Amino acid sequence: MAKPRKWSPIDQAALEQLSRATTSPGLVYSLATNYLPQQLQQLPGAVSYFVSGHTIAHPPIGVVTPGVEIAVVRTDGDLSKAYNYLVGTSSNGSVYFTGPFKNFGDHHFASSKSVSIESLFGHWTNKVR
């Protein structure tokens, strides 16, 4: 049996930016990395932060209903590393995130290579249920 995922609360400043950027579900928005949730601001070399709201409703995972994804890219020498996170709202209205999800083809790629932003999303579904 898989270990339950830890859900971390999102600080108010990050939540405000996330809320503004996800008013149109299905689109991907770029945000400045200083708007990452406080816990993710510790990622060394973070250079890109993307968010996207889901276009379909997902069933709750425990008491958290998923609705948004975060993708963060950081550099480590000549390598870029991409991480996918899931954001959801708890039954009491608090907002949390879980991750990182990194078992996907574009998790590691050469910093000189470009990848589709969309390829950084959608890697959580089979890993949290």
> For residue 94, is it within any domain?
yes
pTM: 0.88
What one-letter code names the amino acid at 9? P
What distance lies between CA 52 and its chain's CA centroid? 8
Total tally of structural domains belonging to the chain: 1
**What range does the domain containing 92 cover?**
8-120
> For residue 1, is it within any domain?
no
> For residue 2, is it within any domain?
no
> For residue 129, is it within any domain?
no
> For residue 98, is it within any domain?
yes
- Rounded Cα distance, 102 and 107, in Å: 6
- Rounded Cα distance, 90 and 105, in Å: 30
> For residue 127, is it within any domain?
no
Per-residue pLDDT of the chain (129 residues; tens, 9 = 90+): 455 578 999 999 999 999 999 888 889 999 999 999 999 999 999 999 999 998 888 888 888 999 999 999 999 999 999 999 999 999 999 999 999 998 888 899 999 898 998 889 888 765 554
- Rounded Cα distance, 81 and 102, in Å: 9
> For residue 34, is it within any domain?
yes
> For residue 125, is it within any domain?
no
User: What pLDDT was estimated at residue 125?
Assistant: 67
